[in-house]
Amino acid sequence: MDMAVETTWNASDSVNVASALSWQARRQPNVTAIHYPKGGKLRKPQYHSCTYQELDELSDCYARGLQAYGIGPGVRTALMVTPGLDFFALFFALFKAGAVPVLIDPGIGVKPLKQCLEEAEPKAFIGVTKAHLARKILGWAKKSCKLLVTAGPGLGLGGITLKKLKELGDLSSEEAMHPSKPEDIAAILFTSGSTGVPKGVIYRHRHFNAQVEMLRTAFDIQPGEVSLPTFPPFALFDPALGMTTVVPLMDPTRPAEADPVKLVDAINVFKVTNIFGSPALLDTLSRHCVEHNIRLESVTRVISAGAAVPIRTIRRMQKSLYNDAEIHTPYGATECLPVSSIRASELDNSMVDRIESGDGVCVGRPIEPNDVRIIKISDMAFNDLSETTEMPFGMPGEIIVSGPTCTDSYWRRDTDTEIAKFGDQNGNTWHRMGDVGILDGTGRLWYCGRVSQRVDTGKEVLFADQCEAIFNQHPDLKRSAVV
């Protein structure tokens, strides 16, 4: 049997990425879709498993229950559920029901989180009991939220429990999958706020489909792999990529505090081949592995994103893997992901010397079919690509990108959209990354820092990451900042 054909989903049959789960359930119903920890404070968490068929049937039931309860097409729904079986089932259920999940990183803080919810104006709120208590006490989206679902004890917080939602789904005979179009809004994903105020990015179904295809191609992801994604939203791509997901025992909002012993145990028990983690998590994991002389035998690929990965972390992680394993550090943003990527094996001594001497951080070549260009830095908005001035190779400027994952707007932030987006004569959307970069003669992209953080001394313009890289080489210095 040709497994590549049997387990590789594409969007030709349905643009809704949730259809990937149903696709896998039909073709390999008894294959494990997810290993997830289950337990609590009173007992040690144990891993349980769920097949593609079981996960698909549960999400179908939830989808019918959502529609019966009034959470249907176009209904914006805040989702604050702990990573695990119900998180996956509910996310896919929301897609199937045609609702619009609103995802906000809880790690951004209480005040920004409240602001994000006020902007998104979700009509529905699905969360664990703790999240509903916070919603009630702190007044999250109190004017807009009318439909409430609690994953856990209801405690008189209003709405219905997840158990009741499942009962509604069991009683309904409606179709679980709502028909979707490529341009339909699929989700609103808020940026982390690490480079400014968090903004809600509008994702359409075509954006998710393009991401699946680009991730598959760029990182040569094969059906049957086992993935340990330490950032929950990225785990949602696994069914479309034909991978089994292992939910790690950790708080995803505090990756640096993850217990490396538990991570290594999960990697070894489930023969994980793919790890997705932030630089902070890789730092914690690699330190543990090097200190205890551990090699992660099954791992063939590590993908790290969210921030620049320090060279010392990459080198430490390489010592924790076998020689045929590869570390990828893609560059991108919530608004456009992935843009480019570089492999650790490309980082030879000469390139490392350039990074550490202030040339910037090499983030690799653009991932096809992205079109990446460097334009003259300007604080003005553009209406069309023709209004920009492209910089020659080797000269710094603002990074702009156009491609199938390039989103076209922010949720109810017209001014931000006007500044960050513009078109061209071919009808393409271009996104201004807000980053300073350089394209070298080999086509590699170098990240130099944020446009907003540049320092004009009157004689020259300094870019943060170029300067900080030099100071960070001091043995007694962990981090520096240009202000």
List all residues 6 or more positions away from 219 whose beta carbon is below 8 Å from its beta carbon.
Answer: 301, 303, 328, 341
Q: Which CATH number fits domain 206-471: 3.40.50.12780, 2.40.50.100, 3.50.50.60, 3.40.50.300?
A: 3.40.50.12780
> Residue 306: which of 397, 229, 244 has the closest Cα?
229
Query: Is 199 or 469 the better-scoring residue by pLDDT?
Result: 199
Residues of the chain with pLDDT > 90, as a percent, come to 86
Give the pLDDT band (50/70/90) at residue 243: very high
Residues 345, 459: contact at Cβ < 8 Å?
no
Query: Is 49 or 40 the better-scoring residue by pLDDT?
Result: 49
Give the pLDDT band (50/70/90) at residue 4: very low
Residue with tokens 């990108």: 401
Residue with tokens 């200190």: 291
Bridge partners (DSSP) listed for residue 35: 49, 246
Residue with tokens 């010392």: 312
Q: Mean pLDDT, to the nearest integer, of 22-41?
A: 90
Q: Is the pLDDT of residue 23 over 70?
A: yes
Give the pLDDT band (50/70/90) at residue 1: very low
Q: Is the pLDDT of residue 2 over 60?
A: no
> Residue 117: which of 142, 93, 87 has the closest Cα?
142
Specify the DSSP element, H or E, that contains 33. strand 32-40
Per-residue pLDDT tens over the stretch 283-325: 999 999 999 999 999 999 999 998 889 999 999 999 999 989 9
Q: What is the pLDDT of residue 478?
A: 75
Burial of 408 (C-beta count, 10 Å sphere; 0-12/13-18/19+) = middle
Pinpoint the residues of the chain covered by CATH 3.40.50.12780: 3-205, 206-471
Q: What is the pLDDT of residue 3?
A: 44
Q: What is the pLDDT of residue 306?
A: 87
Structure tokens that stand for 240 in this block: 């479309």
Q: Which CATH class is domain 3-205?
A: alpha beta
Determine how many CB atoms are found less than 10 A away from the CB of residue 152: 18
Q: What is the pLDDT of residue 233?
A: 82
Query: Is 192 or 2 the better-scoring residue by pLDDT?
Result: 192
Cα–Cα distance, 316 to 356 (Å, whole number): 17
Give the pLDDT band (50/70/90) at residue 172: very high
Q: Mean pLDDT score of the chain, rounded to an integer?
A: 94
For 39-43, 220-224, 330-334, 407-411, which range has the lowest pLDDT when averaged over its residues? 39-43
Q: Mean pLDDT, to the nearest integer, of 125-132?
A: 97
Residues 18, 59: contact at Cβ < 8 Å?
yes
Structure tokens that stand for 427 in this block: 């009808």
